[in-house]
Amino acid sequence: MNGHLALAIAICMEVIATSALASIQGLTKPLPLLAVIIGYVSSFYMLAIVVKTIPIGIAYAIWSGMGIVLVTLVSVVIYRQKPDMAAIVGMGMIVAGVVTIQLFSSMKPH
């Protein structure tokens, strides 16, 4: 499997799992809890595949950075949470960092 495709899947699964955390209500809701468990397990499984072809530092930076931004977008749409200006600026810097890594890093996997 292509490392970038595996990374995209890992990010999506992590976003699903993290977004579902808001719905488990102290572990009393089994369906969202199942989404959390399946999401995190599959995300880490895919991340383990990713690090075969993408250096772990770069993979983790992209995985966590994009996860932060996407979870925030989900929270805006689903939970009606509104990020303030500091959050927006900070996430803009995260995206800029991910873009910089993608465009300019020449780090190779071990």
Convert the pLDDT of each residue in 39-76 to its tens digit: 999 999 999 999 999 999 889 989 999 999 999 999 99
Residue 64 resides in a domain? yes
Alpha-carbon gap, residue 107 to 58, rounded angstroms: 8
How many domains does the chain divide into?
Answer: 1
Report, as an integer, the average pLDDT of 12-20.
96
Residue 110 resides in a domain? no
Left (φ > 0), alpha (ψ -120 to 50) or beta: where does 15 sit?
Answer: alpha
Left (φ > 0), alpha (ψ -120 to 50) or beta: where does 59 sit?
Answer: alpha
Residue 79 resides in a domain? yes
Alpha-carbon gap, residue 106 to 108, rounded angstroms: 6
pLDDT for residue 109 is more than 80:
no
Which residue reads 């969202």 in tokens?
32
Residue 42 resides in a domain? yes
82-108: pLDDT as tens digits: 999 999 999 999 989 888 988 888 877
Would you state the pLDDT for residue 3?
92
Would you state the pLDDT for residue 29?
87
Residue 109 resides in a domain? no
Q: Give the domain extent around 48.
A: 3-104
Classify each residue of 23-61 as buried b or exposed e, where b means 16 or more C-beta atoms within 10 Å of its C-beta: ebeeeeeeebbebbeebbebbeebbebbbeebbeebbeb
